[in-house]
Amino acid sequence: MMLQSPDALAALIPDGALVAIPPDNSLPSVAIAKALIRRGARGLRLLGVPVSGFATDILIGAGCVAEVETSAVSLGEAGFAPRFSAALKEGRITVRDATCPAIHTMLQAAEKGVPFMPLRGLIGSDILANRPDWKVVPNPFAPAGEDPIVLLPAKQPDFAIFHAAMADAEGNVWLGRRRECATIAHASKAALVTVERIVEGSFLEDERLAPGAISATYVTATAIAERGAHPVALLDAYGFDQDYVSAYARAARTEEGFRAWLEAEVFAPAQKVAAE
């Protein structure tokens, strides 16, 4: 289904939904994050796949988020994520820490429709000690009682949201090698995808494009959002806007600074479009 705008995609996401978002090196849809802020979303549970960045920090700052499950939250060279840090300290969000491969593994279990998958490592980490939903069992294929291993439950997000380079006439999307977006699309109940443009034909009919495509089977709705990943990079199309993120990091050090940033970068541009 092709919708008119990122705001129309955001309208499909109810308050309290579990929303999977890729990190700043892998095509988050900042356009949908901004639209969720404009719609006044509340109580979202965000899953960083496997870590979180700019989109997560602005959603937290705008009060859209109740819980974050992730392996790290960072703005890269611009430093710690200021609104995440403030919300954690003030007790406004619940943070469930994980480690990167655990998040991939929980999603892969959901992709396969199995209830859990094992993962090495983790034993002796306080991450595990703080995850009552993760279990340690003896490897059933080892001699009795030997080789403890961690089992992780399948995790099925309500929504995957990400940005792709293009969609075709059949609703397939193309994003090249950033296949973690395919994993979250496969694992989630619905995937909402912003794209730079729509093209004729079908990626699945083109041997060179098919491996970087995600089939419309998994894609619930798309909308055009030009520069919809910005300030994050989009493949070889545009780079990471370091100045923009650094300016955000400075502004978002305080609640007032963040509010002013939101007004200028999230609310005002939409009002301008609406007025035109």
Partner 1 sequence: MIAPEERLAATLARLILDPAAPPARHIAVGAASPIPAAACWLVKLMGHPVRLSLLHRRSGNPFTEGTRELFDLTGQGRIDLFFLGGGQIDGQANLNLVGTGEWPGMGVRFPGSFGSAFMYFMTPRTILFREEHSPRVLVEKVDNISAPGVSPPGVFRRGTAQALVTGRCVFRFHPERARFSLASLHPGETVESVREATGFAFDVPETVPQTPDPTEAELALLRGRVCDEMIETYPEFCRRVWGRSRAA
DSSP-derived pairing of the beta strands 94-97 and 65-70: parallel
Nearest to partner 1 of 159, 162 (CB atom): 162
- Nearest-approach distance from CB 180 to partner 1, in angstroms: 3
Nearest to partner 1 of 161, 224 (CB atom): 161
Nearest to partner 1 of 41, 150 (CB atom): 150
The three-state secondary structure class of 69 is strand
Q: What is the per-residue DSSP string for 192-251?
A: EEEEEEEESS-GGG-TTTGGGEE-TTT--EEEE-TTTTTTS-BTTTB---HHHHHHHHHH
- Nearest-approach distance from CB 169 to partner 1, in angstroms: 26
99 burial (CB, 10 Å; 0-12 / 13-18 / 19+) is: middle
Residues in the chain: 276
> How far apart are alpha carbons 259 and 239 in whole angstroms?
26
Nearest to partner 1 of 6, 22 (CB atom): 22
> How far apart are alpha carbons 39 and 185 in whole angstroms?
23
> How far apart are alpha carbons 85 and 81 in whole angstroms?
6
Nearest to partner 1 of 45, 178 (CB atom): 178
Residues that bind partner 1 (CB under 8 A): 25-26, 50-51, 70-74, 76-77, 80-81, 84-85, 88-89, 95, 97-102, 104, 108, 119-128, 130, 146-149, 177-183, 211, 233, 236, 239, 242
- Nearest-approach distance from CB 48 to partner 1, in angstroms: 9
- Nearest-approach distance from CB 74 to partner 1, in angstroms: 4
- Nearest-approach distance from CB 145 to partner 1, in angstroms: 9
- Across 208-231, b (16+ Cβ under 10 Å) vs e yields ebeebbbbbebbbbbbbbebbbbb
Nearest to partner 1 of 7, 180 (CB atom): 180
| 126 to 130, 131, 269: CA distances (angstroms) | 6, 9, 43
- Nearest-approach distance from CB 73 to partner 1, in angstroms: 6
